[in-house]
Amino acid sequence: MKKLSILLLLVLICFSANGQSAEELKAEQAPKKAKIAELQGEINALQAKINAIPGWRKGAFGTIGASLSGFDNWYSRTAPNSSAGNIGVTVNGFANLIQDKFFWRNSAAINLGWVKLDNEAISGDEDFETATDVFTISSLYGRRLNKKWALSALGEYRTTIIDNFNDPGFLDLGVGMTWTPTERLVVVIHPGNYNFIFSRGESVFSSSLGAKIVADYTATYHKLNVKSNLSVFQSYIGGNFSNWTWTNSFGYTLWKGIGVGFELGLRDNKQEALNNAKISNGNATFDSVDNKIQSYWLFGISYAF
């Protein structure tokens, strides 16, 4: 009995010691966390000073998403012997020259996707087909009037690169003003812009003069990369010839540049909707076409360069 009492006492002492030790460690941890937060603030302040130094700023991050599956004699399916695949790749990059009197901002974005559903009982569907095909490149030059406003000229081109390259292709060339309230946000306001549209053969596409507005936000928050770009063209000859595209990309780094990424793209373009409708209905017009919002999204593994 005496030995049992001693054993119980030792167990209670051990639990008590462990509890005291945890409390002591937590007490030591608190000021260290506060110190880390203070150092992070100093790091952010130094980074802001680095960003203010004239010179080039370059960066890129991308996302890869893939899903592959196969079925062999899986009788609960309509197609018991089949394979499926979905692969997507997106890359966003920029190279900006920032000087006291001028800036030159360049960016490119690529989003490619392939999909396959192969039913072994049917011949001819074995290959991957293009699902997403987006390519955009832009170059913005600005001559500063002050720290936030500049006279500017913009060139922006977008098309597909896997299927029907430059058919259609959209090229915007324009001049106006650019507002840069912060290093991360750039707003382009160009009342004089011509939207050139390239296409082969007979098509519904028409080039026109209009206004161009672009809002681009690019930032890095510790391990999170963010890029949001809204590009709007408002044609002076009517809404049928206007268009807008909004893309949002996010990449969160988990280990040595590798992480998870997500991209969402939205677009409204009535000329593209009409061109697509004429494939099945040659009598389609701007008044009859159902111009739905176009969209794509991709989730997968990301890498920050």
For 60-88, how does the pLDDT look when each residue is reduced to its tens digit (9 = 90+)? Answer: 888 888 877 887 877 666 777 888 888 88
The domain made up of 55-304 is a member of CATH 2.40.230: yes
Torsion angle (degrees, nearest 10) of CA 122, 124, 126, 129: -130
- What is the rounded radius of gyration, in angstroms, for the C-alpha atoms of the chain? 28
User: In whole numbers, what is the pLDDT of the chain averaged over residues?
Assistant: 86
- Residue 258 and residue 272: Cα distance in Å, rounded? 36
Reading the block at residue 83, the tokens are 């394979």
User: Residue 14 has what pLDDT?
Assistant: 54
What distances in angstroms separate CA 38 from CA 31, 34, 52, one per listed residue? 10, 6, 22
Q: How far is CA 229 from the centre of its chain?
A: 8
User: Residue 20 has what pLDDT?
Assistant: 54
Unique residue bearing structure tokens 């997106």: 90
Q: Which helix or strand (DSSP H or E) is residue 80 part of?
A: none
User: Residue 256 has what pLDDT?
Assistant: 84
pTM (two decimals): 0.78
Decide: 136 and 112 in contact? Cβ < 8 Å. Answer: no
Decide: 71 and 77 in contact? Cβ < 8 Å. Answer: yes
Decide: 72 and 87 in contact? Cβ < 8 Å. Answer: no
- Residue 62 and residue 262: Cα distance in Å, rounded? 9
Name the E strands within the chain: 55-71, 82-98, 102-119, 129-144, 149-159, 169-179, 185-198, 208-221, 224-235, 243-255, 258-269, 294-304
Residue 20, classed as helix, strand or coil, is helix
- Distance separating the N- and C-terminal Cα atoms of the chain: 68
Decide: 248 and 275 in contact? Cβ < 8 Å. Answer: no
Residue-wise pLDDT for 256-268, tens only, equals 889 999 999 999 9
- Residue 200 and residue 282: Cα distance in Å, rounded? 17
Q: Is pLDDT above 60 for 18? A: no
Name which residue leads in pLDDT, 303 or 151.
151
Residue positions counted in the chain: 305
Residue-wise pLDDT for 30-45, tens only, equals 787 777 877 777 776 7
For the chain, give every domain's residue range.
Answer: 1-53, 55-304
User: Residue 21 has what pLDDT?
Assistant: 66
Residue-wise pLDDT for 94-125, tens only, equals 999 999 999 999 999 999 989 887 777 777 76
